[in-house]
Structure 1
Amino acid sequence: MAEQLNEKVALVTGAASGIGLATVKSLLEAGAKVVMADRDEAALGRLTTELGENAIPQVTDLLDPASCAAMVPEVLDKTGRIDILHCNAGTYIGGDLTETDPGTIDRMLNLNVNAVMKNVHAVIPHMSERGSGDIIVTCSVAGHFPVPWEPVYSGSKWAVTCFVQTMRRQLNKQGIRVGQVSPGPVISALLADWPEENLRKAKESGSLIEPEEVADAVMYMLTRPRNVTIRDMIVLPTNFDI
C-alpha cells in the first residue's frame, strides 16, 4: 500500500530546473510542502509564486561552504521539520581527463559528492531524533558503469553510489530510508556539456528521457511502505545503448 505524502516537508536541492523542478511539482501534487533550494534567487522567486504557498524558496549556493552549512538549519527554522531530503543538485563534465582543468574537477566533486555528504550529515541528527525520514540522492547510470567519455563525472557518481549504499546500512535502524535514483541521459541543461556528436546520436535514436520520468521514479521510492526501501532505481531510455 502506498504511503501518503500529505503535509510532509521535503527539501529538494537544484530545485529550479530539470529533475529537481519536476520532483518539486510531483511532491506538491502529492500534498507535500516543498522547500526549493537553489542558488538562482530570481528563478526561485518566480517559481514559488507560480507553484503556490506550499513551495518555499531557499537560496543556497552549495559550492559556498557557509551557505551549504546554513541550509538545513535555515530550512528547519522555516518549516520545523524535514521529512524528505532529495539531494539532486549536480553538474557535468564530459570528455577526456586531459581536456579538463583542475578547477572544473574541483567544482564537480564539490557539488556532486562533497555537498551531498554535507547535506546528509546536516539532516541526520534531525531525522534520527524523530525516528523517521527519507534521503534520496540523484545519481546516474554513470555510477554503475565506467563511462569512458566522462571519467570525472562517472567517478563522482560511483562515489555517490558507494556513499548511498553505506549510509543506508548506517541509518536503516533509525527509521531513515536512504536510496538513489540513477537515470540515463535526461533532457536538461546538463546535456549542454555533452560531446556534440554523442548528443546528436542520442537525440536521433530516442536515447533521452524527460525529467518528469525521473521524478516519477522518485515518487515511487518515497511512497513505498516504511518496511520497503528502494536502494537504487535505474531509469533508462529504452534505446540507450550502454
Structure 2
Amino acid sequence: MNMTEHLADKVVAITGAASGIGLACAEACLREGATVFLVDRAADKLESLAASLGPKAIPLEVDLLNPASVATMMPRILEKAGRLDVFHANAGSYIGGELLDSHPDDWDRMLSLNVNAVFRTVHAVLPHMVERKTGDVIVTSSVSGHEPIHWEPIYTASKNAVYAFVHTVRRQFAKHGVRVGAVSPGPVMTALVQDWPKENLDRAIAAGNLMEAKEIGEAVIFMLTRPRNVTVRDIVILPAGFDV
C-alpha cells in the first residue's frame, strides 16, 4: 500500500460528484486509495468521469429530488461494494440576490436539494453504519450556515437548516461510533457562483476572493483521517480576503 493511501479499503459515496466540490472530494478520496461511488443524476458525465478516474470510481445515477430514486441508492451501493464507510452529502444548488428578484418556486427546488435531499440520504445510510458501529457522514454546508450572508437569504436559510441537522444528528449517533461533521466553504470557483449577482462575482474575482474546489477535498481528507476518538465537528474554510 502506498504510504499516502490513508483511505485504502474504505468505501465512500459522494453526492453531486459529477462536478465542483463533489468531484474534487471524489478525486481526493481516490488519491487516498478509497473506492468512491460518484452519486449524481448526470449519467453520461458520470460514465465518462468514471472511465477517466479509474476502476475505483463507480458511477451511480441517482436523482436526489426523486424519493424513489434516492431509495435505490444504498441498496445499490451494498450490492456493488458490500458496505459503506463514508457518506458525503455534498449536492446542492444556489439562489442569491435580492429576495424579491427570485421566485418561491425556485426556492422550493433549492430547498429540496439543499435540505430535504440531505436529510433523506443521510437517513438512508445511517442504519448500515449503526449496524457496523462505525462510519463517517460529512455534509457540505457553507459559511452562510454560520454567518448570515445578506445577499443570499434563502440559501443562508437552507445552510442554517443543514447546520442544525448536522449537529443534532452528530450528538444522536456518536454513541453508535458514527462521526458526523460539516465542511463549510466560503466562495469556491464552481458553477454555483455563476448564479451570484454579477457585481458580487466580479468583485470577488477581482479581489482574488475565491478558492479552488481542491481545497475542500483536502479538508475532507483531514476530517476522515483523524483517529476514531476524534470528531471534526466543523471546518469553515474562507478565502483569506473574504469578509463576512
**Equivalent residue letter for 1:15:** A
Alignment check: 8 A CA contact 1:3 1:225 kept: no
Q: Does 1:72 align with 2:74?
A: yes
SS in 2 for 1:43: helix
In structure 2, C-alpha distance between the alignment counterparts of 1:64 and 1:97, rounded to whole Å: 27
TM-score (normalised: structure 2):
0.97
Alignment check: 8 A CA contact 1:3 1:223 kept: no
The CA deviation at 1:74 is 1.5
SS in 1 for 2:199: helix
In structure 2, C-alpha distance between the alignment counterparts of 1:90 and 1:239, rounded to whole Å: 24
In structure 1, C-alpha distance between the alignment counterparts of 2:101 and 2:79, rounded to whole Å: 43
**Equivalent residue letter for 1:95:** G
In structure 1, C-alpha distance between the alignment counterparts of 2:157 and 2:134, rounded to whole Å: 31
Instruction: Give 1:95's match in structure 2, choosing from 94, 97, 122.
Output: 97
The CA deviation at 1:193 is 0.4
Q: Which residue of 2 aligns with 1:208?
A: 210
Which residues of structure 2 form unaligned runs of 5+? none
Which residues of structure 1 form unaligned runs of 5+? none
Q: Which residue of 2 aligns with 1:222?
A: 224
Q: Which residue of 2 aligns with 1:117?
A: 119
In structure 2, C-alpha distance between the alignment counterparts of 1:75 and 1:88, rounded to whole Å: 17
Q: Which residue of 1 aligns with 2:240?
A: 238
**Equivalent residue letter for 1:232:** D
The answer to which of 60-69 and 193-202 deviates more is: 60-69
1:138-162 alpha-carbon deviations (Å, 9 max, x no partner):
0000101111110000000000001
Q: Per the alignment, do residues 21 and 3 of structure 1 end up closer, same or farther by CA in structure 2, a change over 3 Å counting?
A: closer
Q: Which residue of 1 aligns with 2:84?
A: 82
Q: How many residues align?
A: 241
The answer to which of 60-69 and 49-58 deviates more is: 60-69
The CA deviation at 1:95 is 1.2
SS in 2 for 1:208: coil
| RMSD value, Cα | 1.1
Q: Per the alignment, do residues 3 and 51 of structure 1 end up closer, same or farther by CA in structure 2, a change over 3 Å counting?
A: closer
SS in 2 for 1:28: helix
The CA deviation at 1:129 is 0.3
Q: Which residue of 2 aligns with 1:164?
A: 166
The CA deviation at 1:4 is 2.9
Identity within the alignment, %:
56
In structure 2, C-alpha distance between the alignment counterparts of 1:9 and 1:152, rounded to whole Å: 34
Q: Which residue of 2 aligns with 1:145?
A: 147
In structure 2, C-alpha distance between the alignment counterparts of 1:123 and 1:222, rounded to whole Å: 17
In structure 2, C-alpha distance between the alignment counterparts of 1:69 and 1:102, rounded to whole Å: 27
In structure 1, C-alpha distance between the alignment counterparts of 2:71 and 2:120, rounded to whole Å: 7
The CA deviation at 1:88 is 0.3
1:11-46 alpha-carbon deviations (Å, 9 max, x no partner):
000001111111111101101000000110111010
Q: Which residue of 2 aligns with 1:22?
A: 24
**Equivalent residue letter for 2:184:** S
In structure 2, C-alpha distance between the alignment counterparts of 1:80 and 1:94, rounded to whole Å: 40
**Equivalent residue letter for 1:222:** L
Instruction: Give 2:135's match in structure 1, choosing from 133, 136, 156.
Output: 133
The CA deviation at 1:3 is 9.6
